[in-house]
Structure 1
Amino acid sequence: MKKLIFISLLVIGLTACKNNKETKIGQETTEEAQKSIEEQIAVAHGLNNFDAVEEIRFTFNVKVQDSLRTSRAWTWKPKTNEIRLTQGDISQTYTKTNNISEDDKDIDQKFINDSYWLLFPYQMVWSDATISEEKTGTAPISKKEMNYLEVSYKNEGGYTPGDTYVVYYNDDLLLEEWIYKSADGKREMPTTWEDFEDFQGLKIAKSHKSPDGSFELFFTGIEVR
């Protein structure tokens, strides 16, 4: 009799565990579905791991026709927003605030540009951008049918007001290509998002190339602590 009671309790316990597990999975699925598409893309690139980051180091490089035109090394402490730029033999440090001094605007503009390339999927959530509904179309470089979003910025404020980015992403919600469009419509530049690597849970594309490969923007020396 005791043996039958024990087996019955064991079956009930296992059933309860299974139901709890299924409920938890169901809740997680529902929560994920409730996120906007830009939030889902940011999470796919590791946004949920960013709060644990104490420091990021990276070098932003631009190569045109096999000639290195730009190389800037950055150290960023997100929790304090202390930022250091090293370019050649010169280093500059500033703390990013809502009111940037005139003396710091040049370095701040460079940091925003370089860090946007590094972590743009997060900026889709962090920044004050207007995000379109999800659409489907032909990607500019691979010519594949892909989902895409248009990320647009206001015509005032910031260093490049009115710019738009059209981001194309795969079924895993990782960016594969994008098109940068200037506010005045005079400049349009498509590049790839490739050579992804996981840095402490942050999925970062280390290389961005133009359709003919004559332009490459790439990152080296990435460290996440």
Structure 2
Amino acid sequence: MTRAGPVSLIGVLLLGVLCLPAGVSAQQRPAIADKIAKTYGFDSWDQVEAIRYTYNLEAGPVKLSRSWVWEPKTDQITYEGKDKAGNPVKITYSRSQLASQSAFVKEEVDPGFFNDQYTLLFPFHLVWDTGATVTDAGMHKLTLGKGSAEKVVVKYPSEGGYAPGDTWELHVGTDGRIQELVFHRGGPLKPSVVILTWAGHKKAGPLLFSTDKRGTADGKPAHVFFSNVAVKLVGSSTWMEAQ
């Protein structure tokens, strides 16, 4: 993947390790990690047939919008956005056959999917990601807002993944909802520090999503937001819109 491409500019804001590993045992993570995941609907994940969403980014001159449908049980992904030439494109692929896909899918689309999916579903990665170390750091003052919240630090290993050494600091309310995120990149790519609110909570079926995130990337304004969010449950043909 070229570092000047759209994923590197955006990949940005929040790209973590490029895998969906099996869950860590509950004994290896603090109770707050499970509380956060459950708050966002983790216990109902097995009911989900598909998730639909559009990832939008506004950060200085960078403006991006790309849409996804993810079917987690088969790991089939549908991407709607632009190709390298800026032309509209729609691509459906299976991650089990990623090696046979075009360079554009392997180097741009699939990394983009993980970036956007991590940003939308990070509460679930507290349970899914085996390589990360999750620590309950106690009560701390909010970085952007007023008051205090429980600080949960998620540290990725220094080797492996797309951006080794990344650290996510979550500020969590008593209701288990994330209020703010402070992201520290482990490598030399920019931005080095991203600070975002975790707002615009909406529910689609049994899942809860934060759809609006505002703050800064290396001190400059950044806005990440999700639109067209919906969930389809197993055995149903109906999309349940986030509201």
Deviation at 1:35, TM superposition (A): 7.4
Establish whether residue 43 from structure 1 lines up as the match of residue 50 from structure 2.
no
Question: Amino acid of the residue matched to residue 31 of structure 2?
Answer: S
Q: Any idea what the Cα deviations from partners look like across 1:48-95, whole Å, max 9, x if unmatched? A: 111111111100000135x77100100100110000111042122222
Q: Which runs of 5+ in 1 are unaligned?
A: 1-30
Question: Amino acid of the residue matched to residue 224 of structure 1?
Answer: V
Q: Computing the radius of gyration over CA atoms, which structure comes out larger, 1 or 2?
A: 1
Question: Amino acid of the residue matched to residue 71 of structure 1?
Answer: S
Establish whether residue 208 from structure 1 lines up as the match of residue 213 from structure 2.
yes
| 1:186-197 pair list within 5 angstroms | 187-197=192-202
Deviation at 1:198, TM superposition (A): 0.6
8 Å Cα contact 1:150/1:164 also seen in 2: yes
RMSD: 2.4
Deviation at 1:107, TM superposition (A): 1.8
1:26 paired residue number? none
Deviation at 1:215, TM superposition (A): 1.6
SS at match of 1:183: coil
2:167 paired residue number? 164
Q: Which runs of 5+ in 2 are unaligned?
A: 1-25, 83-87, 233-243
8 Å Cα contact 2:30/2:134 also seen in 1: no
8 Å Cα contact 1:59/1:221 also seen in 2: yes
Q: Any idea what the Cα deviations from partners look like across 1:150-209, whole Å, max 9, x if unmatched? A: 101111221111100000010001001010101047711110000100100111011000
Match of 2:140 among 124, 137, 158: 137
Instruction: Work out the CA distance in 1 between the residues paired with 2:215 and 2:52.
Output: 25
Match of 2:78 among 84, 91, 104: 84
Instruction: Work out the CA distance in 2 between the residues paired with 1:194 and 1:213.
Output: 19
Normalized per residue, the structure richer in helix is 1
Residues 1:35 and 1:137: Cα distance change in structure 2 (over 3 Å): closer
Deviation at 1:100, TM superposition (A): 4.7
Identical pairs, percent = 28
Question: Amino acid of the residue matched to residue 95 of structure 2?
Answer: K
8 Å Cα contact 1:61/1:68 also seen in 2: no
Question: Amino acid of the residue matched to residue 114 of structure 2?
Answer: I
Q: How many residues align?
A: 191
Question: Amino acid of the residue matched to residue 123 of structure 1?
Answer: H
1:123 paired residue number? 125
2:10 paired residue number? none
2:226 paired residue number? 219
Instruction: Work out the CA distance in 2 between the residues paired with 1:45 and 1:195.
Output: 13
Q: Any idea what the Cα deviations from partners look like across 1:124-159, whole Å, max 9, x if unmatched? A: 111121101342111110142110111011112211
8 Å Cα contact 2:78/2:90 also seen in 1: yes
TM-score (norm 2): 0.72
The structure whose RCO (Cα within 8 Å, separation 6+) is larger is 2
